Amino acid sequence: MTPPDPIFAHLRTLTDWSAGLTPDAVPADIRRRAALILWDDLGAMLAARDEPEVRALRRKIAESGGRAEATVFDGGSTRTDRYSAALGNGSAADWCELDGGFRPVVCHAALYVLPALLAEAEAADAAVPDLLAALVVGYETVARVAKAFSFPALKLHPHGGLATIGAAAAVAHLRGHDAATRLDALTGAATLVVPGPFGHAVEGALVRNVWPGHCAQNGLRAVDWAEIGIAGTSSSLRAVFCDILGADAEPEALSADLGSDWAVSQGYHKMHACCQYAHSTVEAIQGALDGHVLDAADISEIRIETHEKALKLENAAPRTTLAAKFSMQHVAAATLLTGAADAGAFHPDTLSDAGFAAVRDRVTLVPFEPALPAPEDRPARVRITLGSGRTLTGECRSARGGPDRPFTPDEIREKGRRSIDAAYPGGADRLAPILGGAGDGLRWGSLVRDMTGAAARHEAARA
């Protein structure tokens, strides 16, 4: 008799646990963390609403959209079918590189959950406590899958390789499915992942930004199909992630310490609009500048000592805004010339700006030695040589935003508020009641209608 696949056995333990998780069983601090993550990632989604490619993508999606049941978060009140909304919102959510992630491994867990979950929750007008519990389950599931399967360094991009899993887990929980149906949804979802190359981000291939939206659709469908008996097999995760994609497996990570080691408590948030691997460089340069900025003509050389993952972000001539966000040279130039790495530092005009180009060519990347253990495993040390011969130095062992150096809840609330109110004036106040983590008596569909309606009323009052 063939012994059971340990990956499948631990996945079954995970789905058994999640099937029994009620909103009341989620600790209050974990519910608040989930609410803050939702708030932050919704803000990241809205920040991309005016990006020309995002607008064009949404117009194309609308050509075949279905019944109006879920909002397209574009600053208006456009509604479409949940699958199209998940595709459009998921593609926007990573566009500005302001969404958070799961710090222990390469995984933007909330991004892989929220586009599908928010569309499903609005279509069903789900209770907010149920929505937050589903976010916790989806985040927990995809984070554990990310820990269970380790790929060769920065070969597979997680936006394609993991997002379908998170979407399916969250939607299955919101629909109240039993453990067996969840298991079927996840085995099916594993076969619907996108084998996107990590290098596409560094090269600036914009299709990378669409992977989370595409996978959000796939995750929704994986649950639909599990409901009618269409699923994968007990070997699906091993076959896809190990046999085909080349991962090493640690099956125990799927079920260890369930209910006590919550993945949402290990997430990070971002203030810099670029790959998180570059954030320590941003902060090291900011420390060296001490509140000042430089002119390109004043800079002779920039030497950056940094970690292995950041060393792979080498592109001195980025051709798209995505490539710029994954270019250590551009990140350094932007921080030196503007003092920040916010959205404006990656505006399309910066790609052809002569000053930016000159500074990018003066950047040298070398390994940070010795390599440091987590949480200081993504450090940077910079030395900026000026034309006068003067040198400026800075070092950052761990960028802000992770569990070791967290932003305060107020900082995250303010970040989200800026994006929400910019898209939907007055809308942040309508959503703010979820931040307490309880949400008793609140329904997501009603909150979204209040948010979009507040914006319409604001515009009418100004007219």
Residue-wise pLDDT tens digits, 270-298: 999 999 999 999 999 999 999 999 999 99
Tens of pLDDT, residue by residue over 167-210, are: 999 999 999 999 999 999 999 999 999 999 999 999 999 999 99
Q: For 91, what's the count of Cα atoms within 13 Å in the CB-facing half-sphere?
A: 26
Reported as a single tens digit per residue, the pLDDT across 147-164 is 999 988 889 999 999 999
Q: Could you say which architecture CATH assigns to the domain 6-268?
A: Orthogonal Bundle (1.10)
The reported pTM is 0.95
Do 6-268 and 276-396 show the same overall fold?
no
pLDDT at 455 over 70: no
Residue type (1 letter), 91 = S
Amino acid identity at 255: S
Phi and psi angles of residue 120, each rounded to the nearest 5 degrees, phi first: -65, -45
Residue 463 confidence (pLDDT) above 80: no
CB 323 within 8 A of CB 347: no
Least confident of 109-113, 166-170, 340-344, 450-454: 450-454
CB atoms within 10 A of CB 348: 12
Mean pLDDT of 357-364: 98
Note the pLDDT of residue 440: 83
**Residue 385 phi, psi (nearest 5):** -100, 125
pLDDT at 269: 98
d(CA 142, CA 106): 11
* Banded model confidence at residue 458, pLDDT cuts 50, 70, 90: low
Show the CA angle centred on residue 441, arms to residues 436 and 446, nearest 5°.
Answer: 95
In CATH terms, the fold of domain 276-396 is: 60s Ribosomal Protein L30; Chain: A; (3.30.1330)
> Among candidates 88, 84, 81, 102, which has minimal Cα distance to 48?
88
Region 25-31: mean pLDDT is 96
Q: Where are the domains of the chain?
A: 6-268, 276-396
Which contacts of 429-434 are long-range, i.e. CB under 8 A and separated by 24 or more positions?
429/454, 430/454, 431/39, 431/42, 434/35, 434/38, 434/39, 434/128, 434/132
The whole-number pLDDT of residue 437 equals 78
- 56 CB contacts (<8 Å, ≥6 apart)? none
Q: Which pLDDT tens digit goes with each residue over 188-198?
A: 999 999 999 99
d(CA 296, CA 287): 18
Cis amide leading into 27 (omega within 30): no
Is the peptide bond preceding residue 251 cis, with omega within 30 degrees of 0?
A: no
For residues 51-64, average pLDDT: 96
Q: How far apart are CA 263 and CA 360, in angstroms?
A: 37
Strands 391-396 and 380-386: antiparallel
pLDDT band at 439 (very low <50, low <70, confident <90, very high): confident
User: How crowded is residue 136: how many other Cβ atoms within 10 Å of its Cβ?
Assistant: 27
pLDDT tens column, 371-420: 999 999 999 999 999 999 999 999 999 999 999 999 999 999 999 999 99
Direct distance between the N- and C-terminal alpha carbons of the chain, in angstroms, rounded to an integer: 75
pLDDT at residue 368 is higher than 80: yes
Structure confidence by residue, pLDDT tens digits, 89-139: 999 999 999 999 999 999 999 999 999 999 999 999 999 999 999 999 999
- Map the chain to HEC letters: CCCCCHHHHHHHHHHHHHHCCCHHHCCHHHHHHHHHHHHHHHHHHHHCCCCHHHHHHHHHHHCCCCCCCEECCCCCCCEECHHHHHHHHHHHHCCCCCCCEECCCCCCCCCCCHHHHHHHHHHHCCEHHHHHHHHHHHHHHHHHHHHHEECCCCCECHHHHCHHHHHHHHHHHHCCCCHHHHHHHHHHHHCCCCCCECHHHHHCCCHHHHHHHHHHHHHHHHHHHHCCCCCCCCCHHHHHHHHHCCCEECHHHHCCCCCCCCHHHHEECCCCCCCHHHHHHHHHHHHHHCCCCCCHHHEEEEEEEECHHHHCCCCCCCCCHHHHHCCHHHHHHHHHHHCCCCHHHHCHHHHHCHHHHHHHCCEEEEECCCCCCCCCCCCEEEEEEECCCCEEEEEECCCCCCCCCCCCHHHHHHHHHHHHHHHCCCHHHHHHHHHHCCCCCCEHHHHHHHHHHHHHHHHHHHC
Residue for token pair 């099956």 = 251
Residue 279 to residue 6: CA distance in whole angstroms: 37
Report angle CA 69, 85, 105 to the nearest 5 degrees: 130
